[in-house]
Amino acid sequence: MSKTSMEGLIAEFKSWSMHSVAALVFLYILLKDFKRIRHKSGRRPPGPPSLPLIGHFHHLLFGLPHHSLSKIADKYGPIVWLDLGSVSVVVVSSSDMAREILKTQDHIFASRPAVLLGDMLFAKGEDLLFSPLNDNFRLMRRVVSTQLFSQQRIDSFQDLRRESAFKMMQTAFEEGHANRHISLSDLMHEQFMSMTTRMLYGMDGHAQTQQLLEIVRDLTHTGWFVIEEYFPLLKPFDPSGEVKRLKKLGQKYFDLMDSIIDQRLKEISNSKSNREENFLDVLLAMSNFTRLQVKGLLLDNIFGGSDTSPDTIVWAITELLRHPNTMERLQNELDDVIGKERLVEEADLNKLEYLQAVVKETLRLHPVGVLGTPHFSTEATKVAGYDIPASTRVMVNFYAIARDPKVWENPLKFDPSRFLISPVDVKGQHYGVLPFSSGRRKCPGMNLALVSVAYNIALLVHACSISLPEGLTSLDVDVEEKFGLTVSKRNPLTLLIKRRLPSVVYAEA
Ligand code: HEM
């Protein structure tokens, strides 16, 4: 065949593809409109006017989605209906609506939709985080509750937490001694990743930790609004490049985890009886888990354990630096209760009332899981008089709820003392502040997170002298956010960290 006729064929094929795409898009619009008409048959929650084809997706394309959704709630109320491409999403933004979804009708809303992330990285939704509400979910939940997050297990990792925190301080002091500033986020993420992998499978090589840190960072950047998920017809064309990126990320994670699992299996078959059992061993011994599920469940906890708590600590120190009086009050409490002759221990945490208030206020103002993980209805129901069909995706805007002026006085002010005079806690019983969510899907790592976050904040404030780069003051510390699966501080908090207590205190540690 001549070159020109080949080119002609290619051109014809391209034009045919374009026509097919156009036809598919047209069909898609028809189906979508049909779906909309069908949906309109009930009484739907209100929502802003939608655009053809994309529905309300444009609201999420610019700025921070949790802010945009808060503005929509201000205008249309605490329960809104959004059409995001072919996916309908109900967003709730008040404590009453959260109680309805996460408590009263938790049995209906505690499922998960099938999402691209689950499909590509988290065992095709047969892990815990993305599992629908089924027997797999109940089994996974039971395994993590008993084998990872029982009080006994959490206590058994106390030495590991202390050792990891001391290592973190040592690194910070070495840098501080040389007058070098250090990113608090990097410091915390490294510490928590190494601690989490040791907790999960007893290993923590430097190269491995770095690789996992990269994987989790890339994962977090994905966010909840990948275009191809809401416009499935676009998936083969992958206009955002996310499908390819996630596939690559998945492969990187699976290769790494396969080598860790293989190594562990080899150790198990070679070792004598005194080998210490870890979480991975428990999973490998369970015949009803596939290897893909084991990798999924590990990723749930690697992601949950190494991103959320460090980001919360960075938010706490950010707010303390912006509020020197609050920092001083916390430091005074620590000096009074602990003194200056020893380091704070986890056993001290319950005696530190103001510290606990600082942790709660940080989680109120900066709940890193701002929109949680999407919930999904298993049957048709009514919420606040509106009809919610079966298979509707539901998001709870934890960020908006915790800043609701109807619930909180001066909601935007960082004021830990509000928790000193109130019995409100952050563990899922009070629906005005739900950093860990509530109900069947409540964060299973909550108790571990609360202790490690409080312990690290206490160490940083009591044992470390923290200063901003020269020339910067508390007024220069910003709270700009970066949206992803979790919300972190956009601009790195770079600090000079030195010893604050007599040297002998650290020598004895
Ligand atoms: C400050 C720290 C943390 C915060 C703010 C946080 C927050 C959350 C939130 C909001 C959810 C979603 C709940 C829902 O869908 O309604 C969640 C789920 C989850 N978290 Fe956490 N989390 C934290 C720490 C941890 C830790 C340390 C781990 C494990 C080591 C962990 C593991 C998980 C897992 C496995 C789920 C999925 C539960 C399920 O779908 O049933 N989290 N977390």
pLDDT, mean over the chain: 91
280 found inside a domain: yes
Strand partners, 465: 498
Residue range(s) defining the domain that contains residue 367: 42-507
- The finding on whether 312 has its CB within 6 A of some atom of ligand 1 is yes
Separation of alpha carbons 27 and 5, rounded Å: 32
With a pLDDT cut of 90, the percent of the chain lying above it is 83
Residue nearest to atom 17 of ligand 1 (CA): 443
Q: Which of 308, 356, 441 to mutate to test the pocket of ligand 1 (most atoms within 8 A of CB)?
A: 308
Nearest CA to ligand 1 atom 6: 436
Task: Please give the pLDDT value at position 275.
Answer: 65
* pLDDT tier at 204, thresholds 50, 70, 90: confident
Query: Tens of pLDDT along 348-384?
Result: 999 999 999 999 999 999 999 999 999 999 999 999 9
Tokens at 459, concatenated: 């160490």
pLDDT of residue 28: 55
* Least confident interval from 13-27, 57-71, 156-170: 13-27
In short, whether 318's Cβ falls inside 6 Å of ligand 1 is no
Q: Which residues of 177-206 are buried (b: 16+ CB within 10 A; e: fewer)?
A: eeeebbebbebbbbbbbbbbbbbbbbbbee
**11 against 343, higher pLDDT:** 343
**Residue 357 falls inside a structural domain:** yes
Does pLDDT of 1 surpass 50?
A: no
Question: Is the CB of residue 301 below 6 angstroms from any atom belonging to ligand 1?
Answer: yes
Contact 308, 370 (CB under 8 A): no
Checking if the pLDDT of 35 tops 80, the result is no
| For residues 388-408, average pLDDT | 97
Q: Quickly count: other Cβ atoms within 10 Å of residue 474's Cβ.
A: 13
Torsion (CA) 473, 479, 481, 486 in degrees, nearest 10: 110
Q: What is the pLDDT of residue 182?
A: 97
Confidence of residue 6 (pLDDT cuts 50, 70, 90): very low
pTM listed for this prediction: 0.92
Asked if the structure places residue 292 within a domain, the reply is yes
pLDDT score at 287: 81
Mean pLDDT for 64-76 is 97
DSSP code of 490? Answer: S
Q: pLDDT per residue over 279-308, tens digit each?
A: 999 999 888 899 999 999 999 999 988 899
pLDDT at 53: 87
C-alpha atoms less than 13 angstroms from C-alpha of 426 in its C-beta half-sphere: 25
- Please say if the pLDDT value at position 215 is more than 90: yes
Instruction: Quote the DSSP letter at residue 308.
Output: I
Residue nearest atom 18 in ligand 1 by C-alpha distance: 443
Quick one: average pLDDT of 385-406?
A: 98
Bridge partner list, 395: 91
Is residue 13 over pLDDT 50? no
Q: Round to whole Å and give the CA distance between 367 and 360.
A: 10
Q: Taking residues 423-432, what's their average pLDDT? A: 96
Contact 462, 344 (CB under 8 A): yes
Mean pLDDT check: name the lowest of 64-68, 126-130, 200-204, 487-491.
200-204
Report which residue type is found at 273: S
Asked, for residue 16, whether it belongs to a domain, the answer is no
Task: Say what the pLDDT of residue 25 is.
Answer: 53
Token pair recorded at residue 112: 């998960």
**Whether residue 305 has its Cβ less than 6 Å from ligand 1:** yes
**β-strands 87-92, 79-84: how paired?**
antiparallel
- Give domain status of residue 28, yes or no: no
pLDDT above 50 (res 38):
no
Q: Would you say the CB of residue 435 lies under 6 angstroms from ligand 1?
A: yes
CATH number for the domain spanning 206: value is 1.10.630.10
Q: Is the CB of 125 under 6 A from ligand 1?
A: no
189 lies in some domain = yes
**Given a cut of 80, is residue 11 above it in pLDDT?**
no
Report the distance separating Cα 49 and Cα 62, nearest Å: 17
Number of domains in the chain: 1
Residue 391 lies in a domain: yes
Q: How far apart are CA 16 and CA 22, in angstroms?
A: 10
Residue 343 has pLDDT above 60, yes or no: yes
For residue 83, report the phi and psi dihedrals to the nearest 5 degrees.
-100, 110
User: Tens of pLDDT along 238-252?
Assistant: 999 999 999 999 999
Q: List residues forming the annotated binding site.
A: 443
| Centre of ligand 1 from the C-alpha of residue 193, in Å | 15
pLDDT at 193 over 70: yes
500: in domain: yes
Does residue 272 carry a pLDDT above 70?
no
Pocket test for ligand 1, best of 443, 446, 485, 487 (most atoms within 8 A of CB): 443
pLDDT band at 208 (very low <50, low <70, confident <90, very high): confident
